[in-house]
Structure 1
């Protein structure tokens, strides 16, 4: 944990970031992101998921690609500006629903998702919020439902956690006594990916 940033990053942080740059992380243009999205989708073992939940959808670039694998996809973000772009991008996809929503303060009810994607968002949470979010996500998975974690691993000075800390926490908390099992894990040069399944 970064001792200088013990709290989760607030929605205003992201409002400011998107005010300064419409695509601050190069989701639409970066070769790194394009390759990571391909790897993310390739890691999903099922061709279709009935109900999926993407936490932190941003501009909806991954959302649009993920939608082809989902009968219904709920995609949420804490900032309205990227959500507007995501809605425009996915306007041709009636199976995608967008909401302004902040996990863990809010979580969709009822849940029973067959897939939950936590990509490039966990390190914005404080350790306490990560613990709360983990409990909500595990509870929100249907039996046999899958959780896909994908995170940048180098430290970022103003993020409360690193990607490795997020994945290590999920794995330690959910695998020791269940209720998840680890299906697949892979480390790449700048990010890691872990796929878990609810027993």
Structure 2
């Protein structure tokens, strides 16, 4: 069965969350907990002023990330998981939870941290190209971009995690907009950390 060539839309995720409020077991999985710990450990700075998390789902990682951010915008394509995310983040008044479809919608501000975790492979190549440019444009000089994605093939998804990360690595040339700082590869996921090139 061929993989789709189009970006998975809001309706796809609405169906997933209608079937299961926590479809990837974010709140209970040891695998997810360990991946979240590795994600946070990969961040070079102890604290970030203005962070952007794309694909927050029910907000499990968002809550962990909130401890290290003065302001955090967390978004998801589907509104359905965001009720749980808002409840989980209620003690954090500087965290904003919004429904947002990337790359068609994008916040008009600069961030010193952008986290793209388990989202990029839902996008078609044209949309990922658009999203990559938006991420670069909205990253402050020396700001960090962290990518974390599942690497095994999934027939529902337009891309694999490796394709997403390799696509971003194309920009990490000596005179390119991003500097590649870190790569970590586990058995089923990959983590790559970039820094905005201050030019």
Deviation readout 1:33-66 (Å, 9 max, x if unpaired): 0000000000001010000000010000000000
**Cα distance in 1 between the residues matched to 2:58 and 2:9:** 18
**Residue 88 (structure 2) pairs with residue 89 (structure 1):** yes
Deviation at 1:131, TM superposition (A): 0.3
Determine the structure 2 residue equivalent to 1:10. Answer: 9
Query: Any unmatched runs of 5+ in structure 2?
Result: none
**Cα distance in 2 between the residues matched to 1:81 and 1:185:** 33
Determine the structure 1 residue equivalent to 2:126. Answer: 128
**Cα distance in 2 between the residues matched to 1:131 and 1:149:** 15
Deviation at 1:74, TM superposition (A): 0.2
**Residue 119 (structure 2) pairs with residue 146 (structure 1):** no
**Cα distance in 1 between the residues matched to 2:74 and 2:29:** 21
Determine the structure 1 residue equivalent to 2:45. Answer: 46
Determine the structure 1 residue equivalent to 2:177. Answer: 179
Deviation at 1:3, TM superposition (A): 4.6
TM-score normalised to structure 2 length: 0.97
Determine the structure 2 residue equivalent to 1:103. Answer: 102
Query: Any unmatched runs of 5+ in structure 1?
Result: none
Deviation at 1:112, TM superposition (A): 1.2
Determine the structure 1 residue equivalent to 2:162. Answer: 164
Greater fraction of residues in helix:
1
Give the paired residue count: 197
Deviation at 1:173, TM superposition (A): 3.0
Residues 171 and 178 of structure 2 are in contact (CA less than 8 Å); yes or no, is this contact kept in structure 1? no
Residues 4 and 157 of structure 2 are in contact (CA less than 8 Å); yes or no, is this contact kept in structure 1? yes
Deviation at 1:178, TM superposition (A): 1.1
The ranges of structure 1 where at least 4 consecutive aligned residues each deviate by more than 6 angstroms after the TM superposition are none
**Cα distance in 2 between the residues matched to 1:27 and 1:170:** 26
